[in-house]
Structures are given as structure tokens and as C-alpha cells.
Amino acid sequence: MLPVTPKTAFWMGARCGAPFILVIVPFALLFGVVASEAGFSVLETFVFSTAVIAGAAQFTALQLMQEQAPTIIVLVSALAVNLRLAMYSASLTPHLGAAPLWTRAFIAYLTVDQSYTCSVGAYERYPDWDLATRVSYFFGTCVLVLPFWVLASVSGALIGQAIPPEFALDFAVPITFLAIIAPMLRTLAHVAAALVAVVLALGFAWLPYNLGLLVGGLGGMMAGARVEQLLERRTSGDAP
């Protein structure tokens, strides 16, 4: 097998990220339509999608703004939905933390579900890659996803309510996250965190302003951390 260079790693990353376009486009189109219905201009939708690049948080913020929720609730809820990105960053640090500051700034900006999923999987398969190769691969995963996300968001804003309801673009939201999350449920701690988060989010769905999502997210992280502690103790032979 020929050695992987930064250039070939970049295109490997692009190929890994390319299939996500199939769900990113309808997801972003839907966001653009919803943003238009919420009163956002095309420019505002463009800036929102370009600055945030976090579909779930964007939908959460939009819904809360439409419900006239207090600004602090909008911000806290959006941040809570994006807490997973902090965990992504911690997971990527051993692989990319030695990169220059400006490079790490771009990596932070482009750390989304798709770039993280593709990159971590590749780093586990190819632990001998050097830093330049790992960085190139990471940026490759974003080279197609990000432009399609922004362009589709703007297209959705332009089209607005002209998209017929029977197109059912909202299918992209759950499919995207199922495709990302399912392969990552590799340990008992992961499964416990996911199950607890789902149960709590559904159980507290009656809370105003979608605060049930905060409860589910916090509960899931606590459950996952606790299960991981117990497994580590069992492995080391310590009593729980």
C-alpha cells in the first residue's frame, strides 16, 4: 500500500464526507424555509448558517425565537444542543492539538458532526499518520459539506413557502443524526448515555421552551460518565 500524503488524505476526507450531502442538502433547505417563515431575510439566513454551522442548534434557536422565548433561554438551549462539540474537541485534541493556533481556530470552526465522525474513524484506522496528514484529512471532510450546507440554506430561504408540504424535507433531520450517532454507539457507556438522554428528553417534553432537551442532554452525559467509571473500576479490579 502506497503511503498516504497530505494531498491524498485531503481527498480521502472529501470522499468520506461526500455521502452526507444527501441528507445535508434537504436538512439545510428545510432550515432555510423555516428561517424564511420566521422572518429572516436571505442575508440573515446566510450569515446564520455560515457563522454557526450547527443545524440542530439553529433549529432550536429558531423555534424558541418563534415562541418568543427570552433571549437567555434561546442562547442556553442552543449552547446545550452544541455541548457535544466540546466533547468532539476534547476527542480530537490528541490528534490535532499540536497544530498551529490559526489551524486549530479553523478546525474549531469546522468541527461538526460529519467532520468529527469521519476524522476520528480515520485516525483510529491509521494511527501512524503524521500531523500534516491528519489536518489535511480533517479539512477534506468539510470541503464539500460546508458549501452545500450554506448554499442549500440560502436556496431554502429564497424558495420559502414555495416548497410543497408533500416533499417532507423534515425527514433529513432524524436521518442525519441517526446516520452519525448509530456507528458511534460502540461501548456500554455510549449506549447508556443515548438511552438515558432519549428517555429523559421524552419524559420532560412537557417543559416549556424545549427545556426537556437540556434535561435529557445533562442526564445522558451524567449516565455515560457514571457507566464509564464503573467499567473502568471493574477492569482495574476495584469495587464500585
pLDDT in tens, 55-67: 778 887 887 787 7
Q: What is the rounded CA–CA span in Å between residue 79 and residue 77?
A: 5
Given this model, what pLDDT does residue 72 score?
A: 85
**For residue 172, pLDDT beyond 60:** no
- pLDDT grade for 81, boundaries at 50, 70 and 90: confident
**For residue 31, pLDDT beyond 50:** yes
Domain range summary for the chain, segments of one domain joined by +: 6-184, 185-240
Identity of residue 100? P
Q: Which of 138, 160, 169 is nearest to 22 (CA)?
A: 169
DSSP labels, 130-170: -HHHHHHHHHHHHTTHHHHHHHHHHHHHHHGGGS-GGG-GG
Q: Which residue has the higher pLDDT, 130 or 173?
A: 130
Q: What is the rounded CA–CA span in Å between residue 148 and residue 167?
A: 19
**For residue 179, pLDDT beyond 70:** no
The average confidence (pLDDT) of the chain is 83
Q: Around Cβ 195, how many Cβ atoms within 10 Å?
A: 14
**For residue 238, pLDDT beyond 60:** no
Given this model, what pLDDT does residue 239 score?
A: 47
- What's the whole-number mean pLDDT along residues 68-80? 80
Residues 6+ apart with CB under 8 A from 25: 148, 152, 172
Lowest mean pLDDT among 31-35, 113-117, 163-167, 216-220: 163-167
**For residue 35, pLDDT beyond 90:** no
pLDDT in tens, 103-146: 999 999 999 888 998 999 899 899 999 999 999 999 999 999 99
Instruction: Report CA 166 to chain centroid distance, whole Å.
Output: 27
Q: CA–CA distance from 175 to each of 32, 109, 122 (Å)? A: 18, 24, 22
Ramachandran region, residue 117 (left: φ > 0; alpha: ψ -120 to 50; beta: rest): alpha
Determine what percent of the chain is predicted with pLDDT higher than 90.
32
